Structure 1
């Protein structure tokens, strides 16, 4: 597995880094999605006063596919708010998830977002972070890994481009919403450290290199767990904005996993 060269971030006095994931806007329907969009925009307004960096760790949309000149309809309030944050100088890092992996350059050109399609290492105020959406990492989930290879295959993407957008987006939305587990419509339970694939993945990575924090989305279950009794390394899953409305914040020294509705 190859990750890019680590990116160094030094926080200005009083500034923080925020992490959020798995909003799945568009699901399960337009009415429910817009209610959640408003809550997320409230969150973005709140953090705009002290955020230096915002990490979005994938599945912002329940389905996203960019044609050469067309993007999916909707989400204008969220995109507009992200554009506003970017214009104010807040750096936005976006990691594609399994629901919005067909991104090209729209967010980069319109919002000046820095886009990642795989895991990346960051050094923030001297602390090391391993950051990824989390899909396809760790043992197991072989069916999804095969499916991801198909979806990211250049030939498959080329063929999908030839579908009329009304057909392609409708088909994508149908297939995406049909998967209730990924869309967060089913209760997701903690499987135990020996059965959580991303925890197992993180522990294996620690054998190769030390990281203070492993930050993931994808799992939809908020978790902030110690990975070692001898090293200060933590596994953090950001949860989602369907059931939990959770996010993480790093102030340069400590990282917290918080619930927006309770903060």
Structure 2
């Protein structure tokens, strides 16, 4: 079979559009590389550091990334997008304009007999209570309705400022391994395995690239990010690997 590719947490637009631009170029180069043998491409959220879809407006920028995704999708390669905590206000723009399905929670997939549980990973597992409360506020229909009434020049600028500055909103903490008994996505993966077996439980959000055994023939995968690591996952039909894109 061809290969299945996974990437997460690009945070395009942060901390500024100018500083983000080289990362966008590198990511487009990666997409050009993997499209050569891709069976499918999974983007696991926080592609943008902020995203909001008004009725007729989407945030300015990211033309090269969006254009490359459109090109790859038009070529027949499936692309699957999972919203993260920074782009959780995504609606149907990707589906209508790019023919890319958008998921707001975990989904199950099977490739070559291997089972996958895939999602962004925010708000999963024990702890992280401050962010979980904040997410309930952000996903409340009234919050989205209220924000939509702000002029985009005001709303987008305010949201971008908060996204960069406020760790409670971002859901991020100091990025270091907390140990098997404290990493909440590892604990979450183990809990999911109590009810159903998966070969791979693949998430982003934590910005910590790792493949960690969580059961018999079961591995927790965190894809890292495209800020510090430029890591991505690839499944070749038999094995899952984390690789670093050098360009």
TM-score per shorter chain, which class? over 0.9
Give 1:162's aligned residue.
149
Per-residue deviation at 1:183?
A: 6.8
Give 2:218's aligned residue.
233
Q: Secondary structure at the match of 1:147?
A: helix
Indicate the RMSD between aligned Cα atoms, in angstroms: 1.7
Structure 2 CA distance for aligned equivalents of residues 51 and 187 of structure 1: 33
Per-residue deviation at 1:251?
A: 1.1
Mapping 1:74-223, distance limit 5 Å: 74-179=61-166, 188-223=175-210
Task: Summarize the Cα distance change of 1:130–1:102 in structure 2 as closer, same or farther, 3 Å threshold.
Answer: same
Q: Which structure 1 segments of 5+ residues have no match?
A: 1-12
Cα pair 1:136 1:145 within 8 Å, conserved? yes
Per-residue deviation at 1:184?
A: 11
TM-score scaled by length of structure 2: 0.96
2:14 aligned with 1:33, yes or no? Answer: no
TM-score scaled by length of structure 1: 0.91
Give 1:54's aligned residue.
41
Task: Summarize the Cα distance change of 1:205–1:106 in structure 2 as closer, same or farther, 3 Å threshold.
Answer: same
Give 1:255's aligned residue.
240
Give 1:10's aligned residue.
none
Per-residue deviation at 1:179?
A: 3.1
Per-residue deviation at 1:126?
A: 1.0
Deviations 1:166-212 (A, max 9, x none): 11101110100113698799861111111100000001111111110
Task: Summarize the Cα distance change of 1:130–1:186 in structure 2 as closer, same or farther, 3 Å threshold.
Answer: closer
Q: Secondary structure at the match of 1:98?
A: coil
Deviations 1:59-100 (A, max 9, x none): 000000000000000000000000010011110100000000
Give 1:3's aligned residue.
none
Give 1:245's aligned residue.
230
Give 1:73's aligned residue.
60
Deviations 1:30-82 (A, max 9, x none): 22100100110110000011012100000000000000000000000000000
Cα pair 2:78 2:100 within 8 Å, conserved? yes
Q: Which structure 2 segments of 5+ residues have no match?
A: none
Cα pair 2:131 2:168 within 8 Å, conserved? no
Deviations 1:98-122 (A, max 9, x none): 0000011111111100110011111
Structure 2 CA distance for aligned equivalents of residues 227 and 127 of structure 1: 16
After alignment, is 149-158 or 177-186 more displaced?
A: 177-186
Q: Secondary structure at the match of 2:137?
A: helix
Task: Summarize the Cα distance change of 1:233–1:107 in structure 2 as closer, same or farther, 3 Å threshold.
Answer: same
